[in-house]
Structure 1
Amino acid sequence: MQIGIDKLGLFTPNTYLDLVMLANARGVDPDKFTIGIGQDQMAIAPLSQDSVTMGANAALDLLEGESRDNISLLILGTESGIDQSKAGAIYIQRLLGLSNARTFEIKEACYGATAGLMTAYDYVAAHPDQKALVIGSDIARYGLETPGEVTQGAGAVAMLVSAQPRLMVLEPETSIHSADIQDFWRPNYSKEAFARGKYSTEQYIEFFQKTWADYRAKTGRTIADFKALAFHLPYTKMGLKALRTILDEGSETQQAQLLERYAESTLYSRQIGNIYTGALYLGFLSLLEHSTNLEAGDRIGLFSYGSGAVSEFFTGILQPGFEKQLAKQKHADLLANRRQLTMVEYETQFQTELPEDGSEYEIDLTMDNAPIILKGVKDHERIYMTR
């Protein structure tokens, strides 16, 4: 039985910051942002969007025209959780009308959505007549005028996992490497993450090399067996650094092809920024919706990395007619219709927060046109609304 990704959905807030503007405001050469780390814009989430609403909106993107009766598993991968006890997935379940779904949230930094995808694979294998919905939804925050400010972002990717998928069949062979390291973390008392940037990059590359070597040893496959490699992208130059460590295993033609496919995989990330658990799948979606050289039967490699750290290299085979499962124009419109913030608007929006004492608060919704939004807080409860 073949199991894999049947459809992909995408959501990002409708406001963004231009990184040349940010560079000028911070007294930095814009090339350091646009060329050095490979980012052009970053999505900025208003108060009315959080990991719940973005995840639900991304799922709406792929559920259009789909029966929801046989979606019996819903998993949210996030490191932007809204509650220490109740899973954000429970809110999403109600907002989407999936009342018969086993529902929970997974946390392991940026690896959370991949953990959800692998769990969904096993679930569908045991229940082939059922489908699973896996969501990676996050807001990346590092603080104003911090080294990580330029690698912020917000968004969500949703995946429908099924037997006989129409987009990509996941192959069973995967390679995993994990270790207890302190490259990135966010204690309960902090709203922003702590990161050892250079160390994290070194670990990311090392973890990729280990999983790639293990995968090759297990399967006997080489770089020649892949049409493209997609990477977790906290910023777009990160994956390129890892890819370059194995390029010499292929011919010059193969190297050029992989680099071209890699560039295609970064286009959405350059406009949205880091979305943590969804970042790998944002790159994968960008690859599928921008490449004109992919065909049914092509093997795609995917490298997932979650700080702390867990990594996994896995693969999939594109299916006949996979293009029909994509929504390129819809996603292009989503990005094109966003509003660019000024620096004052960005900093004000970044610093505006919900009350921490649970008191009543109503959010101004005039600037948010998303179908599902956070309306406010009342009696310590978040009030979500579907328009």
Structure 2
Amino acid sequence: MTETVGIDRMGFYTPDMYLEMTDLALARGEDPAKYHVGIGQDKQAVIPPTQDVVTMAANAAAQILTPADKAAVKMVLFGTESGIDNSKATAVYLAHLLDLPADTRAVEIKQACYGATAGLQLAADYVRARPTAKVLVIGADIARYGLHTAGEVTQGGGAVAMLVTAQPRMLALEPVSAYHTADVMDFWRPLGRTEALVDGRYSTNVYLDFFKTVWTAYQAQTQRTIADFAALTFHIPFTKMGLKALRQVLPEATPDQQVRLQAAFEASQLDNRNVGNLYTGSLYLSILSLLRHGHLQAGDRIGCYSYGSGAEGEFYSAIVQPTFRQGFDDERLTALLANRHAVSVAEYEALFTQRLDLSGRDVQLPIGEVSAQYYLAGRHQQQRLYRQRAVD
């Protein structure tokens, strides 16, 4: 008998500061409706210098890993395009911070926003072959385009952690998926740059074209139609982008099915609207938001569209499990987002420039008011100094 494999638990972390999009719009001389409606964003996570992708991943993973889980984890796959070293993997730093066993394989995966999906599929195949093993998959990023740029409104950051196991509590991954790759220059970040370069309109068009390509290929492989799905979820660097993709296929559904799919999309984008762009984690925050705010039932099938500029796209599906609400701490996640505090545009701009630069110089970061369990204390002799705060 083939084991059911999928996402057993999910954790999410973003720092405790955000910027109101109305404030940013007014500061940039824009109509707030352009940001709230035209882009589909309300708040944007602001990342302090004491957080990077490693610490955010550790703070997310700590929410879901028990001592027994740590003993069973055999692999850490860390999807990110905000890596901190051109050689050493973020996954190695993370495994150390989480005190995982020494016989854990730890690897970083990079392909723009697609990296976490590659990790998830590799993890699923690994567990299908080794049903007693568990794999920790991370999608963590800090989206940076620069101050006063066209992409500034689509910044943000955070981390999603997923524990992939046999007999999962949340989502069973179906084995068939469709993927597509092409060498496209819609978004890239050359070596030596901390901000990305993007052709926004072109990138949106490529994203939409790739979705139709993999959706059609998935249907051809499975003979399924849109009627087989309770929800479609999307990589959403900004929420309007996912809505555009959904609207491409809604005509394939009946009027009643369209209403259900639109309602599910609204639930899936609620948390993303208030965090912003997570790059590799965006699809997975969308899935988590759907499970938290939607009206799903056991046995429902959800479709998942992953996209990474440059470019790679994939469409796969998952089945909601009867115990899916046991896989995340809804109260904790609600409090995480609700208890953040707003910063002014001036404070946001100052924090944006305070991150560790590329000079390699020694830095001691201000850690007096750090509230996160895992944080970055600074840099010494070109080595990052990670610390863990005592937890009651």
Q: Give the TM-score category using the shorter length.
A: over 0.9
Tell me by how many angstroms 1:326 deviates.
Answer: 2.1
Provide the rounded CA distance (Å) in 2 between the counterparts of 1:26 and 1:237.
Answer: 20
Provide the rounded CA distance (Å) in 2 between the counterparts of 1:230 and 1:252.
Answer: 19
Tell me by how many angstroms 1:287 deviates.
Answer: 0.4
Q: List per-residue Cα deviations over 1:349-383 (Å, max 9, x = no partner).
A: 11113253433211112343110000111111000
The one-letter code of the counterpart of 1:305 is Y
Q: Tell me what 2:126 maps to.
A: 123
Equivalent residues in 2 for 1:241-256, closer than 5 Å: 241-256=244-259
Tell me by how many angstroms 1:64 deviates.
Answer: 4.4
Equivalent residues in 2 for 1:37-76, closer than 5 Å: 37-64=39-66, 66-76=68-78
Q: List per-residue Cα deviations over 1:140-192 (Å, max 9, x = no partner).
A: 00000000000000100010000111111000110011111000000012111
Runs of 4+ in 1 over 6 A off after TM superposition: none
Tell whether the 8 Å contact from 1:355 to 1:361 is kept in structure 2 after alignment: no
Provide the rounded CA distance (Å) in 2 between the counterparts of 1:346 and 1:270.
Answer: 18
1:218 is paired with a residue whose SS is helix
Tell whether the 8 Å contact from 1:375 to 1:385 is kept in structure 2 after alignment: yes
Provide the rounded CA distance (Å) in 1 between the counterparts of 2:63 and 2:235.
Answer: 22
2:281 is paired with a residue whose SS is helix
Tell me by how many angstroms 1:76 deviates.
Answer: 0.5
Q: Tell me what 2:373 maps to.
A: 371
Equivalent residues in 2 for 1:1-387, closer than 5 Å: 1-64=3-66, 66-99=68-101, 100-291=103-294, 293-387=295-389
The one-letter code of the counterpart of 1:284 is I
Tell whether the 8 Å contact from 1:5 to 1:161 is kept in structure 2 after alignment: yes
Tell whether the 8 Å contact from 2:69 to 2:134 is kept in structure 1 after alignment: no
The one-letter code of the counterpart of 2:346 is V
Q: List per-residue Cα deviations over 1:110-132 (Å, max 9, x = no partner).
A: 00000000110111112111000
Provide the rounded CA distance (Å) in 2 between the counterparts of 1:337 and 1:40.
Answer: 16
Provide the rounded CA distance (Å) in 1 between the counterparts of 2:184 and 2:360.
Answer: 35
How many residues were matched structurally? 386
Tell whether the 8 Å contact from 2:139 to 2:159 is kept in structure 1 after alignment: yes
1:245 is paired with a residue whose SS is helix
Q: CA RMSD in A?
A: 1.0
Tell whether the 8 Å contact from 1:14 to 1:368 is kept in structure 2 after alignment: no
Tell whether the 8 Å contact from 2:229 to 2:302 is kept in structure 1 after alignment: yes
The one-letter code of the counterpart of 1:285 is L
Provide the rounded CA distance (Å) in 2 between the counterparts of 1:66 and 1:112.
Answer: 27
Provide the rounded CA distance (Å) in 2 between the counterparts of 1:188 and 1:4.
Answer: 35
Provide the rounded CA distance (Å) in 2 between the counterparts of 1:42 and 1:330.
Answer: 20
2:165 is paired with a residue whose SS is strand
Give % identity. Answer: 51
1:7 is paired with a residue whose SS is strand
Instruction: Give the alignment's TM-score, normalised by structure 2.
Output: 0.97
- Structure 2's unaligned 5+ residue stretches are none
2:232 is paired with a residue whose SS is strand
